[in-house]
Amino acid sequence: MNDDDNSKFKVYLVHPSSKHGVKLPKTISFRNLVEYVKKKVDAVKDIQNYAVRLFYKDGSMTLNIVDDDDVQYFIHDVCGKNDHVQKLFISAVQQPSEVKSSSASNNISFDLNVPLVPQDCHYPTPKVEQYSFHQEQDLLPKWQRNNFKNMPMPPDAPEPVFKPLQPIINHSDFYINKEFYNKAECMFAIGKKSLIERFEYKVIKSERISMNDVHTCSRDQICPNHRNATMKLLSQLLFEKLKDSNRVYKVRDIQKDIRLDWKVDISYKRAWGGRNLAFEMLYGDPEASFEQLPMYCHNLKLKNPGTVTHIETDDAGRFKLVFIAFGVSIRSFIAFMRPLIIIDAAHLKGKYKGTNLLAVGMDGNNQIIPIATGVSQGETGESWTLFMSLLKECIGEVPNLAIISDRHAAITQACDTVFPNCFHGYCCRHLMMNCNLKQEKVKYLYWKCCKSYTHEIFNKTLAELKSKRPQAVEKLEKAGYEKWSRAYCSGKRYNYLTSNSAESINSLTRHVRRVPITMLMEYYRRLLQDWYNRRREKYRVAPELELTEWATKKVHHRMWKSANWEVRGIAQFAVQWQLSGLPCGHVCAVCRVEELTNCNIWAQSWFTKAALKGTYQEMVFPLDEEAKWHNPGNLQKVKPPVMKRQAGRPKNSDRFPSKNEEPIVKTCGRCGIEGHTREACMQPVPSLKEKSRGSISGSGKGKEVMQENVELNHLVDEEYFQNGRIYQEWDDLSWGVQPSNWQWEDDLACNGEPSNRQWEGDAEWGAGPTYSGFNLNYNPESSNAYHLDDF
């Protein structure tokens, strides 16, 4: 490439009548480019009064070239960055003609010193008659049509008409002959109308058959916190949105939706209360749900024979635990399922906190079946022991039973106490998280330890893991190898290393656990009913001799892996076959060598479709409506539990008190005793008597208040409860030194020996401050005087 190619660029000059391929210098200007185009293209060479238009296309855009900047952009950014040669289109555009002075008119030449009109030119003057005023025609109107003599008198100015304010929106819920089912429906419609039309109202008097829809308030009134957007109205507005139990509807989202939908701002407290009322409308009252629980369990056992229920209460009849084991699940587990139970617990989220206990089993197709569920006050040793004891009463002693759970101490205690002969294994997933094994290499070594069948592979892998995470291996050793590894497993865990099956049910019920307890139990029944019905229809016509889909996939994979294995003899016992219940690769290889066409005969019976059909052959029946429930009349009474304060940030009780600050003692407003309020007071309400006038001294001099005449016993009791003692001896009076600027008329002088005084009737008393407190002034006409500290 020479320097000439670097200094020039290639371009196609395209005109409708001709096309040219040329090389132009990169430093060419717009003027030179136009001159070159005029010389090169014959069609625009001899055209007069026409301008040359240059343009090109960049994608879908048409760009014009009108100055030097456009030329340089076209050369460097368009032609320089593309491998192909660009096209520069040429067209002729007509120019507007210039208006010259010579073309407007002919030049006029004249001398400014010569007059245009000759001085000797004379013209005759026209004769004009002189006009005389005040003639007769001046008295006539100029136009005969503009005669206003016969016009009517103008009317009076109209009075302004003020129409009453009408509704802004014609609300569809209100029209003539509209009928509401009840008052609640009518009030809900009025509440929605107030939100839509932006007005507030206050009920003074209600009318059943008429409505005054005339507004007297100002239209420009702003309602920042709408008084009629009550919690009850909000609950009805949120009712439809909260029907989906899987929806997480936070209070902040409720505030935002109400603001967008109804143009009203509501407080957090109202949104919270409205959501709780909506939940109560949907799922019922939590307190009433505990009262309903015994009757629900009774009718559940009537509809589904074999179902076991148990409700545990304390001495006061308050709820402690409920246990429900479904009859169909128990019979399916005993007859057709492998002896494996996976247990777990999850927290409740409603008004009454607690723990949802759960035990599930696995069918031959690796599908989950809830066996038993329950609710307790917490995940304690007592609750788990009672739950497992009731579960054992349902299933009895099952040979080779395996229980998989997390490492909770209460579960370990319950399994050791109730099922001492079964194998209790830990969930390897929970154990991995407890040991903080997060790196991929470390997790790979951990899971290899868990899945290894021989001691040699296990010890080798564990040593490698210990070199990377020694602290984690110490925790694994403390947990016990037999609890989580297959190599040291003392029983059969049927190749289930985790409790994911129970965790799956907990995830399914994560939004349902906020509903009342009876509805939670009903949710488990409906879930079991739905799963049994769908699976029963699915496996109704399945061949009974075949393995289930999940088992067939496992066996097929092992057959494919062992296709090139060579059978030499029995070197060790086939542990894989015994632990899983399905033919392992060794069994498949032996069947191939022995020319057996079917190795499924070596699988356990619970993996066949015949067992799967038998698992779901029974039905789960629903309950009737609550009004039709059978009530035997002798059911136990269940009260809601007493909730303890949840763990959280403690109150700030170590605050430094201010100067001269004393603790506030809250007492009952009726009897004056600490520990309860006026609403919970059991004392009778004191009767109102005639009020007499008494004077109060001190900072409010000259101020008088009405004071009741109370009996002596009432005074004594009140003073006893407030101060803990009664001042009847004169030496109990604490006078101190009074300031000199205070003058008292009836203050007692305390001198001499102390003497006991007796009450002598009603006291009319006035109080005044002293150096040490308040003195009760003496009135000799009504009673002896006495003193009250801090009156």
Residues 533 and 553 in one domain: no
Q: Give the pLDDT band of residue 603 (cuts 50, 70, 90).
A: confident
Torsion, Cα of 612, 615, 618, 622 (10° steps): -110
Residues 450 and 485 in one domain: yes
Q: Is it the case that residue 243 has pLDDT exceeding 70? A: yes
Residues 737 and 769 in one domain: yes
pLDDT of the residue at 333: 96
Cα(726)–Cα(147) distance, integer angstroms? 110
Cα(506)–Cα(345) distance, integer angstroms? 8
Residues 271 and 390 in one domain: no
> Which of the pair, 787 or 545, is modelled with greater confidence?
545
Determine which helix (DSSP H) or strand (DSSP E) holds 475, and give its type and residue range: helix 470-479
Closest by CA to 403, choosing from 336, 340, 356, is 340
> Which of the pair, 752 or 260, is modelled with greater confidence?
260
Residues 537 and 612 in one domain: yes
Q: Within a 10 A sphere around the Cβ of 194, how many other Cβ atoms?
A: 20
- Is the residue at 84 inside a domain? yes
pLDDT of the residue at 2: 58
pLDDT per residue as tens digits for the range 739-751: 444 444 444 344 4
Residues 529 and 638 in one domain: yes
Residues 204 and 296 in one domain: no
- Is the residue at 535 inside a domain? yes
Q: Give the pLDDT band of residue 448 (cuts 50, 70, 90).
A: very high
- Is the residue at 80 inside a domain? yes
pLDDT of the residue at 692: 42
> Which of the pair, 626 or 132, is modelled with greater confidence?
626
Residues 415 and 530 in one domain: yes
Residue range of the domain that includes 437: 428-491
> Which of the pair, 6 or 683, is modelled with greater confidence?
683
Q: Which positions ≥6 away from 259 have C-beta within 8 Å?
A: 265, 266
**Amino acid of residue 471:** Q
Q: Is it the case that residue 522 has pLDDT exceeding 90? A: yes
Residues 213 and 321 in one domain: no
Residues 473 and 388 in one domain: no
Closest by CA to 436, choosing from 475, 485, 477, is 475
Question: Which of 300-314, 667-681, 690-704, 758-772 is modeled with the greatest confidence?
Answer: 300-314
Residue percentage of the chain with pLDDT more than 70: 73
pLDDT of the residue at 147: 59
> Which of the pair, 501 or 197, is modelled with greater confidence?
501
Q: Are 162 and 192 in contact (CB under 8 A)?
A: no
- Is the residue at 113 inside a domain? no
Residues 303 and 246 in one domain: no
pTM of the full structure: 0.59
- Is the residue at 201 inside a domain? yes
pLDDT of the residue at 273: 92
> Which of the pair, 336 or 165, is modelled with greater confidence?
336
- Backbone φ and ψ for 534, nearest 5 degrees, come out as -70, -40
Beta strand pairing status for 86-94 and 61-65? unpaired
Q: What is the CATH number of the domain that holds 52?
A: 3.10.20.90
Estimate the crossing angle of helix 585-593 against helix 549-561, to 10 degrees.
70
Q: Are 752 and 788 in contact (CB under 8 A)?
A: no
Q: Are 785 and 771 in contact (CB under 8 A)?
A: no
- Is the residue at 466 inside a domain? yes
pLDDT of the residue at 517: 94
Of the candidates 476, 491, 506, which is a domain's last residue? Answer: 491
Q: Give the pLDDT band of residue 458 (cuts 50, 70, 90).
A: very high
Q: Which residues lie across from 345 on neighbouring strands?
A: 357
Cα(529)–Cα(438) distance, integer angstroms? 40
- Is the residue at 119 inside a domain? no
Q: Which residue has the tokens 């154990």?
A: 431
Q: Which residues lie across from 321 on neighbouring strands?
A: 312, 376
Q: Give the pLDDT band of residue 576 (cuts 50, 70, 90).
A: confident
Determine which helix (DSSP H) or strand (DSSP E) holds 15, and give its type and residue range: strand 8-15
How many structural domains compose the chain?
6
> Which of the pair, 753 or 410, is modelled with greater confidence?
410
Residue percentage of the chain with pLDDT more than 90: 34
Of the candidates 70, 94, 118, which is a domain's last residue? Answer: 94
Q: Is it the case that residue 449 has pLDDT exceeding 50? A: yes
Closest by CA to 462, choosing from 298, 454, 757, is 454
pLDDT of the residue at 85: 80
- Is the residue at 111 inside a domain? no
Q: What rounded mean pLDDT belongs to the chain?
A: 77
Of the candidates 452, 476, 491, which is a domain's last residue? Answer: 491
Residues 618 and 714 in one domain: no
Q: Is it the case that residue 37 has pLDDT exceeding 50? A: yes
pLDDT of the residue at 658: 81
pLDDT per residue as tens digits for the range 709-757: 433 343 334 333 333 333 333 333 333 444 444 444 444 344 444 434 3
Phi-psi region of 198 (alpha: psi -120 to 50; beta: other; left: phi over 0): left
Q: Is it the case that residue 339 has pLDDT exceeding 90? A: yes
Work out the average pLDDT over 336-345. Answer: 94
C-alpha R_g of the chain: 51
Q: Which residue has the tokens 């066409």?
A: 597
CA atoms within 13 A on the CB side of 708: 9
Closest by CA to 445, choosing from 434, 426, 459, is 459
- Of 492-501, 515-524, 672-681, which range is least confident? 672-681
